[in-house]
Amino acid sequence: MTGRSGRPPTLDEVAERAGVSRSAASRTINNAGNVSPATRRAVERAVRELGYVPNVTAQALARQRVGAVVLAASHDNPDLLGDPFIGQVIVGVTTALENTELDLKLLLCHPDRGHDRVRRMLRRPRADGVMVMALRGDDPLQRMVEESGLPAVFGGRPLHGQPELFVDVDNRGGGRTAAEHLVRLGRRRIATIAGPVDSHAAVARLEGVTDALSVANLDPTLVERADFTRDGGARAMERLLERAPDLDAVTVASDNMAVGALHTLALHGRRVPEDVAVVGYDDLPIAELSHPALTTVQQPIRSLGHEMARVLLALVDGESPSSLLLPTRLVVRETAPQPA
- List the pLDDT tens digit at each of the 340 positions of the chain: 545 555 678 888 888 999 987 767 876 876 654 568 888 899 999 999 988 877 655 555 555 667 889 898 876 665 555 677 888 999 999 999 988 888 998 887 766 665 667 777 776 557 888 999 866 767 777 777 777 778 889 999 887 777 788 999 999 999 999 999 999 999 999 999 999 998 999 999 999 999 999 999 999 999 999 999 999 999 999 999 999 999 999 999 999 999 999 999 999 999 999 999 999 999 999 999 999 999 999 999 999 999 999 999 988 887 778 899 999 999 999 999 998 6
Strand ranges (DSSP E) for the chain?
Answer: 68-74, 103-109, 129-133, 152-155, 166-169, 190-194, 223-225, 249-252, 277-282, 295-298, 324-326, 329-331
Domain co-membership, 25 together with 103: no
Give domain status of residue 124, yes or no.
yes
If asked whether residues 213 and 318 sit together in one domain, one would say no
Q: How many CA atoms does the CB half-sphere of 188 hold within 13 Å?
A: 3
Name, in order, each residue with C-beta under 8 angstroms of 215's C-beta and a sequence gap of 6 or more. Answer: none
Q: Where residue 306 sits, what CATH number does that domain have?
A: 3.40.50.2300
Type and span of the H or E element at 273: none
Q: Is 35 helix (H, G, I), strand (E, B) or coil?
A: coil
Residues 195 and 280 in one domain: yes
CB 127 within 8 A of CB 66: yes
The reply to whether the predicted model has a pTM over 0.85 is no
Inter-residue contact 118 to 56 (CB < 8 Å): no
By the 8 A CB rule, do 316 and 27 touch? no
Q: Are 227 and 185 in a shared domain?
A: yes
C-alpha torsion 201→205→211→217, nearest 10: -150
Residue 336 lies in a domain: no
- For residue 339, being part of any structural domain is answered with no
Let me know if residue 333 belongs to a domain: no
* Consecutive H or E run containing 312: helix 301-316
Whether 334 is in a domain gets the answer no
DSSP 322: -
Q: Give the pairing type, strands 223-225 and 329-331.
A: unpaired
What is the span of the domain harbouring residue 26? 4-54
